Amino acid sequence: LVLLLLALRVPTRVAFEALAVTALATYLLQGVIGASRYASTGVVAVSVFTFVVLLGTALRGRREARDELGRQATMTAEERARRTVLEERSRIARELHDVVAHHMSVISIQAQVAPHLVENPSEELKENLAGIRQNALEALTELRRVLGVLRSENPEDPYGLGESGTGAAPDAPQPTLDRLDALMENTRAAGLRVTADVRGEPRRPYPPGVELSAYRIVQEALSNALRHAPGSEVRVRVDHVPQGLLLEITNSRPERPVQPSPGAGHGLLGMRERAAMLGGHVSALPTLHGGFSVVAFLPRDGVARDLVGDDFQGPLGAEYIFPEPPTGEEIP
């Protein structure tokens, strides 16, 4: 019993050292000292001691392997979540590249044209405008270089040019809120009943980054409903409020058994990254009727504001009162 407890608690080397000491003591007591008349039990005793030490060592090794597997699983999950966040940030940067590049190109062109709109422009004005244009072109070049690194998945091709050196950015324009109808129509074609509720009108156009992030958040929420709530009814609400843009995507309970999803399960991380980038935030919670609801708020100008105490009328007479932006996962 002592050897078994010892093998369960100490390293293997120490357990076998204790076994060796025990075998030596057994030999000295029975083989050297002995007695006048007795039946030796040394071989049986040492055999039992060895078996007990081997059993304890095996049980201890199994327990350590199970603990190490749990630690590795935790590290793998954390690494997967970290990698997903980095990939989502890279995708956001790639999508916003076209928006920023467009503005930089416009600045460059306006700086080039401006001297021709003024009669007899001074040399100082020409130099300043030329400097503005040059800085815009340099910024655009650096932006394309950085985005080339983000686009590339090959470390030996850091600028994303490929073997032929003809890499190019996607030609399709980045989606905006105007394309939400087409997005919902595609979701209906996939088997969900989707209803839209648009309230209010924007006082002025939203920045392209806000519209792009709003579209992606709705797209991800609808994709989650397709995967996890087949046959459900989805309500998409877009509310233009003075403080910004309020999005709510709520689905009912699924009507069919949910099949295992092949996705990584980090769609909420991507939505939160997009909202946080613009100073907003996202809440995602189960509903009382077995469905799921995603609520996102994006500030009008993409700048964080203190929204504590600001309330917006929600569904069925409820009100959203925005707390401090969440710092952890709301979904267990």
Q: Which of 50, 77, 104 is the last residue of a domain?
A: 77
The pLDDT tens digits for 43-71 are 888 899 999 999 999 999 899 889 888 88
- Give the lowest-confidence range in 55-59, 209-213, 248-252: 209-213
**What's the rounded mean pLDDT across residues 206-223?**
87
pTM: 0.54
92 or 306: which leads in pLDDT: 92
Whether 181 and 221 map to the same domain: the answer is yes
Q: What average pLDDT does the segment 291-320 reach?
A: 64
Of 77, 109, 125, at which residue does a domain stop?
A: 77
What is the dihedral sign for C-alpha 199, 204, 205, 207?
negative
pLDDT in tens, 180-197: 888 888 888 877 889 999
d(CA 43, CA 239): 85
Q: Are residues 198 and 290 in the same domain?
A: yes
Residues 196 and 70 in one domain: no
Confidence of residue 305 (pLDDT cuts 50, 70, 90): low
Q: What is residue 250's predicted lDDT score, i.e. its pLDDT?
A: 94
pLDDT digits (tens, 9 = 90+) for 29-45: 887 777 667 777 888 88
Q: Which of 77, 108, 129 corresponds to the end of one domain?
A: 77
Answer yes or no: is 54 within a domain.
yes
Q: What pLDDT does residue 36 have?
A: 67
Highest mean pLDDT among 91-95, 298-302, 314-318: 298-302
Over residues 144-150, the mean pLDDT reads: 64
pLDDT of residue 254: 86
Q: Give per-residue burial for 166-198: e unless 16+ CB within 10 Å, then b.
A: eeeeeeeebbebeebeebbeebeeeebebeeee
Between strands 311-313 and 319-321, the pairing is: antiparallel
pLDDT at 294: 94
Q: What is the CATH number of the domain that holds 202?
A: 3.30.565.10
Q: Considering its fold, how many domains does the chain have in total?
A: 3
218 and 289 belong to one structural domain: yes
Residues 198 and 225 in one domain: yes
Domain that holds residue 95: 87-151
Strands 233-241 and 244-251: antiparallel
Question: Does residue 330 lie within any of the structural domains?
Answer: no
**Same domain, residue pair 289 and 239:** yes
Q: In this structure, is residue 163 part of a structural domain?
A: no
Instruction: Answer yes or no: do 229 and 93 share one domain.
Output: no
